[in-house]
Amino acid sequence: MNIESNKNGNALTLALEGRLDTITAPQLEATLKTALPGVEALVLDLGKLEYISSAGLRVLLTAQKTMNKQGTMKVKNANEMILEIFEVTGFSDILTIE
């Protein structure tokens, strides 16, 4: 998985490319841990993400919990399959999806 990071003041956009699964989820977790302090607006751009497994969902949940305390988080450009996963797991009610 590739993570492209773009920071503008207190706003951070992370564009994810590839697969967010058991092997790659720790990479996103580590990136978020370093990058989130001080961020008030987080955008996760999933436009180039192929799929997400439960390991990836756990990282998104942790990120959402962190951002609930310090600002906002949006998830955008998810493909149809990822949107379906958000739907069946109830994540569509937890995340802000655009």
Q: Which residues of the chain form contacts with other proteins (CB under 8 A)?
A: 19, 21-23, 50-55, 57-58, 61, 64-65, 68, 80-81, 84-85, 88-90, 93-94
- Do 35 and 63 meet the contact criterion of CB atoms below 8 Å apart? no
* Minimum CB distance to other proteins smaller for 9 or for 88: 88
**Residue 88: CB minimum distance to other proteins, A:** 5
Phi-psi region of 18 (alpha: psi -120 to 50; beta: other; left: phi over 0): left
* Minimum CB distance to other proteins smaller for 7 or for 33: 33
Other Cβ atoms within 10 Å of 97 Cβ, number: 18
